[in-house]
Each structure stands twice: as C-alpha cells, then as structure tokens.
C-alpha cells in the first residue's frame, strides 16, 4: 500500500457518455442513433427501458456542472453525440447540437475543470448504419469530417481528445454477438467493423491535428487480465487476451494484428488494403484504459473464439453486475501495458462498480463502492511506483445512467439519480472521492470515510479482496 499521495499534476476526474445521460433523443434536430433504434425494439434491453430521457443531462447541464464543481475534480470526460451535431452523420450540421457542447465546455472551463472529449462512444448515426455503418470503409472519412467539425468548435479550450471508446465492444457486442446496437450477428461484419474503426481513428487523428497541432490524441480501450481456469486452458486464455487487450493496440504500435487471435486473423486481414497500415501504425499520444475486472477462461467449442468465461461458485466477491472485484488485476494489466507497448502515457478513462444501494434518510451509504474504489486506486498507485506512466484517473461514472443492454438496472454513479423525478443525490462515494480529489491520498480518504461510518466499515472490510 502506497504512503505517497498522488502528485498535483495527476488528474482526478469522472466520466460519462452522451447516450447514457443526455436524453432529448429527438429534440432540437438531433438525428436518430443506432442506440435509439435498437432500444425501441421490444425485448433487447433487460428491463425494457430506453435512453430517450436517460438522466436528462441535455436540459440539466448547469446543475450537473455545479455538481462536478462541488466534487472538486480536475477533469471531466464526456462524449459528443455524433447524430446530435451531424444528424445524418455527414453533411448538414445542427447549430443547436454544436451550441450544447460549446456551452458545456464553457461551463467546465469557467470552473477550472479540464474537458476530455470522446468523439465516439457507440452512438453511430442511424443514417450511416443504413449505409453499412462500421462495415463500410467510407465511415473512416465520415468520422474524420465529424472530428474536424468538433475540433474547430472546441480546440481553443480542449487539449485531450479520445477518438473511440472501446472499439472491441462495438465490433464484438454490436456486430458479432448482437447484444448491443446495431444488433448484428456476423463474424465478417465484426471483423470489418474492427478494421474500419482503426482506420477511422487514424483519419480522425489527422483531422484533429490539422486544426490543432498541439492536441493530445488518444484512444480508450478495454483492458483486463485473462487467466486460465486450469493449466490446460493456457493457450485459449492467451487467445482471448489477444482479442481483448491486443486487437486495438498492436496495429497502432506494431502495424499488424496480433497473430494470437487465431482464426480471427484471416477475417481481420480481409479488410486491409494497401496503405492502411501506414495510416494506422502510429502510436497515440496516450492510451485510455477502461478496466473493471479480470477474466477466467476455459476451452470450449465456440466458433472463431473457442473460449468460455466462467464465474466459479467460489468467486463470491462480485459487484451487482456480477463482475468480480479483483484489484490486483488492475496493477497486473497496467504493468502488461507498460512492458508490451514501451510505457506509453496512460489515463485510466473508466474504472468503477455497479452497486444499487437504497436511499435511506436522504443519503446513499454505498460503502461497497468506496471499498472498491479504494482497492483499485491503491493498486493503481502501486503500478505508478512500478514505473507505469499513469497521468490521470476517471471514475465511471459521475451519474447513475442507462447501462446499455442492462437498462437502468445497474447503478455505477457517484451521484444517485431518481429515474422518476430525475433528482440528483450525491452518494457517500461522492464525498469519499471529493476527499481524494482534495488530499490526493486515497488511503487517507478511505480512513477518514470509515471514521465517519464506523458501522459500515466492517461491512466493507468483510467483503474486501486483499492484495
């Protein structure tokens, strides 16, 4: 456990995404997104809800920025809704959409909160999906057009840009498994979506750089250590680790797809044309790391992948979304990134936990979330002491929100949202993280929080995974 506080230059923040919080899905000229279309289909979302209203952030932006200010964060990561600013994905621009993000950034900067702008967090314009979406090579150019427009709007106030959030989720959940928008199930489509997202990242990087040469441009990928359930599962664990952790990194650093992905390699290379690797093979200015848990893998017969993820019965330390709480895996994967990719600058762009603690007497005592954050922050500090170049950390999420295929059934927020009234209520984890932002010392803040809630401290300790 580190006794050293985080340096003053280290950014502490929190994250959201447009579709999950904004609402106003068809207001002020916004175009339809693939998630608007997908969630309006019966039976695809666990609790039957949609993001039409979500947290109504579009109308409550002033209130939400005031909450961010009271939290004391250095930075706020949010995403721009592509169809809100370019309703058809290309061509005519919505003045109202541009104005919304212009005002949001102004309000953040006025309070000394640095904006980290994500250009794409899964809400592809439906009009482009009808032209093939991420399976159409032309989308790289459409995305660059969009990136240029947002850069021209915000580059005087924004330094840090993230092109794509978790492209593995778009390709895998959206085009292979069909559990996310657009709900397709095709290995060929998934492979094309993977390659064309990388191409779009490259073109968007050039578009932003042309507007603002001093920009810091990165990509946010999902990372998780993958362990074999049994010794004989080692090869299949290596394969799934390559898919999860290397597929959208090796092309940027080494100019090719990782051979360890196995049968997927042939499908991926089908989409590659001459000159693609020259564009793609450029390391980003920083790597965004989204991390929540680890995986255990077991060999099975599943086409193109050949693995099954297991949650053994003895893995009892789970969040409400049934992801294992395993803080040591955080340090492990950060060390792996450091060693494989030459210690790139890293921002932890997402880390957090789903716990649905009730509102009692006007407060939410989410001590389990506090314990989770303390454990993971401590492991991040250990990774820094190991030599990893980690420059910032963003809690997922600022607000309870629409959690994709789970609807509103999972709560990740530091702020509780009553989905009937939309009232915001900062949780105890909000107060804990505010103290972390003030002291730069997660362990000191954890002890201070425990002193405020001594009864709950024993509950947290009883469910803690010791490192």
Alpha-carbon gap, residue 437 to 419, rounded angstroms: 28
Run of H or E residues at 439: helix 428-439
Q: Which residue(s) pair with 307 in the sheet?
A: 299
Alpha-carbon gap, residue 143 to 124, rounded angstroms: 10
Burial of 167 (0-12, 13-18, 19+ CB in 10 A): buried
- Give the CB-side neighbour count of residue 33, counting CA atoms within 13 A: 30
Alpha carbon separation from 121 to 105, 174, 221, 353, 404 (Å, rounded): 18, 12, 11, 19, 11
- Give the CB-side neighbour count of residue 342, counting CA atoms within 13 A: 9
CB 413 within 8 A of CB 399: yes
Q: Quick one: the chain helix, strand, coil %, rounded to 5?
A: 45, 15, 40
Query: Catalytic residue positions?
Result: 166, 350
Give the SS3 label for residue 179: coil
CB 259 within 8 A of CB 318: no
Ramachandran sector of residue 120 (left: φ over 0; alpha: ψ -120 to 50; beta: rest): beta
Ramachandran sector of residue 161 (left: φ over 0; alpha: ψ -120 to 50; beta: rest): beta
Peptide bond into 182 cis (omega under 30): yes
Q: Structure tokens of 151?
A: 């850069």
């Amino acid at each position: 456990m580190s006794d050293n506080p985080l340096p003053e230059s280290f950014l502490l923040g929190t994250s959201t995404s447009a579709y999950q919080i904004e609402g106003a899905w068809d207001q002020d000229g916004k175009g339809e997104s693939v998630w608007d279309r997908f969630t309006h289909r019966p039976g695809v979302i666990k609790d039957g809800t949609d993001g039409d209203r979500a947290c109504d952030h579009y109308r409550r932006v002033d209130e939400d920025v005031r909450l961010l200010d009271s939290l004391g964060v250095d930075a706020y990561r949010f995403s721009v809704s592509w169809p809100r600013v370019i309703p058809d994905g290309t061509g005519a621009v919505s003045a109202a959409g541009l104005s919304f993000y212009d005002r949001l950034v102004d309000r953040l900067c006025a309070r000394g909160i640095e904006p980290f702008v994500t250009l794409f967090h899964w809400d592809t314009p439906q009009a482009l999906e009808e032209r093939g979406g991420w399976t159409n090579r032309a989308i790289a150019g459409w995305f660059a057009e969009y990136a240029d427009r947002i850069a021209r709007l915000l580059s005087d106030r924004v330094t840090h840009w993230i092109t794509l959030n978790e492209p593995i989720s778009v390709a895998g959940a959206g085009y292979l498994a069909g559990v996310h928008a657009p709900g397709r199930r095709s290995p060929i489509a998934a492979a094309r979506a993977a390659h064309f997202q990388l191409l779009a990242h490259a073109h968007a990087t050039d578009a932003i750089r042309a507007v603002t040469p001093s920009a810091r441009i990165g990509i946010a990928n999902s990372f998780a250590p993958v362990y074999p359930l049994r010794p004989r599962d080692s090869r299949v664990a290596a394969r799934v680790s390559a898919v999860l952790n290397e597929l959208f990194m090796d092309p940027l650093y080494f100019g090719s797809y990782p051979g360890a992905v196995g049968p997927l390699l042939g499908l991926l290379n089908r989409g590659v044309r001459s000159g693609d690797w020259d564009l793609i093979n450029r390391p980003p200015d920083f790597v965004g790391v989204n991390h929540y848990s680890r995986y255990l893998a077991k060999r099975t017969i599943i086409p193109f992948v050949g693995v099954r993820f297991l949650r053994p019965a003895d893995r009892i330390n789970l969040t409400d979304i049934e992801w294992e709480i395993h803080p040591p895996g955080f340090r492990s994967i950060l060390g792996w990134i450091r060693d494989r990719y030459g210690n790139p600058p890293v921002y932890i762009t997402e880390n957090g936990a789903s716990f649905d603690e009730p509102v009692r007497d006007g407060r939410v005592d989410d001590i389990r979330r506090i314990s989770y954050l303390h454990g993971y922050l401590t492991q991040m500090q250990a990774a820094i002491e190991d030599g990893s170049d980690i420059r910032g950390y963003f809690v997922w999420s600022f607000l309870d929100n629409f959690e994709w295929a789970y609807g509103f059934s999972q709560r990740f927020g530091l702020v509780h949202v009553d989905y009937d009234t939309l009232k915001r209520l900062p949780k105890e984890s909000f107060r804990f993280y505010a103290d972390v932002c003030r002291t730069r010392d997660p362990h000191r803040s954890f002890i201070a929080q425990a002193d405020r809630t001594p009864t709950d401290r024993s509950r947290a300790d009883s469910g803690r995974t010791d490192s």
